[in-house]
Chains A and B, each alone.
Chain A
């Protein structure tokens, strides 16, 4: 499955993560991650995002993530919300 629309979720506040998903030209998942805890948690944040995307069956997508120290469940929530928004039929209230 691929994402055909751009959607955002989350904020840049402390303990949150801002996610922007958008259509990608090429097959595959591209992820650009910025984080204030990149050295300590970059690998784990990346894994959480990719796992969440894969769980939704999305295989072609571009993701920008700006992390402000979000915990895993927050990351999952924001990624799922962004995906829901990007994949929803127009006019459906989420």
Chain B
């Protein structure tokens, strides 16, 4: 089953206490950060700490992502080499553009050839797209490494690159968000939205998460653990929609059993896109524990009861 990445939580890479608690904060993925959260004089220290943690600390079921420094800096290649030794789930590549992803890809391939006898590392890549060029070339970036499983859009650096102001309304990142979300869909990878930087504004975060979900993002980055639950709420399917989706699937099964090709529900024709969406919705609801057990239940009432009972 494809894993959920509703939240990717940034954790400073040089803070032992926060690394130790990273797995209990509820985030689907944690990003151990070697870049912005670490001062230049502590790059070596953080790299060493994260390496040791990945060797001996259990993050339980939480996915572990490491953000390395840009590959164009002196630290980037050192980070990459150290991380390949311990192979986290994901490496998040900052300032992602075609050239930087190609360079990372080439270095990983070289490592596999030299150190692993051609065997592939388990680590996948996430592109942190945070520049105008990155946004504009998102398709080419996604085509430049088969290891890419997602894009994280970085709105702060992007607007700074554009030379425009970052606002609450977020009009200035609308185009980039749409473009990234659509490109990720095309390439079948996750699209994770930019963090919401006003950590005490919970209503604003919820609205922003819902907006990202509506645009097609699969998740949102978090810069504070308190944001995790709110983002999950924002990305949770609407129970009314889940209930409807369950009924669609049941009606479909009944129609199939009766040998009917097309069928209707509540007086409306149900066509393939509706069935497709219903399947996705129910699959997500199952992952989130909103629906218990199989959706193949023939009994609508039972299905609804289990939904009620299982709502989180």
Contacts and interface: CB of A to CB of B under 8 A. Distances in A.
Given A73-B52, A73-B56, A16 B44 contact: no
Contact of A81 (B17, B44, B75): B44
A14 B51 CA distance: 20
A93 interface: yes
Nearest to B51: A77
A2 interface: no
B48 A80 contact: yes
Chain B interface extent, by class: 10 to 19
A72 B57 CA distance: 10
A23 to B, nearest CB: 21
Contacts of B75: 93
B204 interface: no
A13 B48 contact: no
Contact of B17 (A9, A13, A80, A85): A13
A9 B44 CA distance: 10
Nearest to A10: B45
Interface residues of A, number: 20
A70 interface: yes
A81 B74 CA distance: 18
Dominant secondary structure of chain B at its interface with chain A: helix
B16 A81 contact: no
Contact of B44 (A10, A73, A94): A94
A71 B17 contact: no
A84 B55 CA distance: 19
Contacts of B45: 9-10, 77-78, 81
A34 interface: no
Contacts of A78: 45, 49
Interface string B48-82: 11011101110000000000000000110010000
Given A85-B44, A94-B44, A74 B15 contact: no
Contacts of B243: none
B43 interface: yes
A55 B40 CA distance: 27
Nearest to B53: A73
Nearest to B14: A11
Contacts of B16: 13, 15-16, 70-71, 74
Nearest to A72: B56
Given A80-B48, A81-B49, 5 more contacts: A9-B45, A78-B45, A78-B49, A84-B44, A94-B43
Q: Which interface residue of B16, B48, B52 has the most chain A CB atoms within 10 A?
A: B16
B264 interface: no
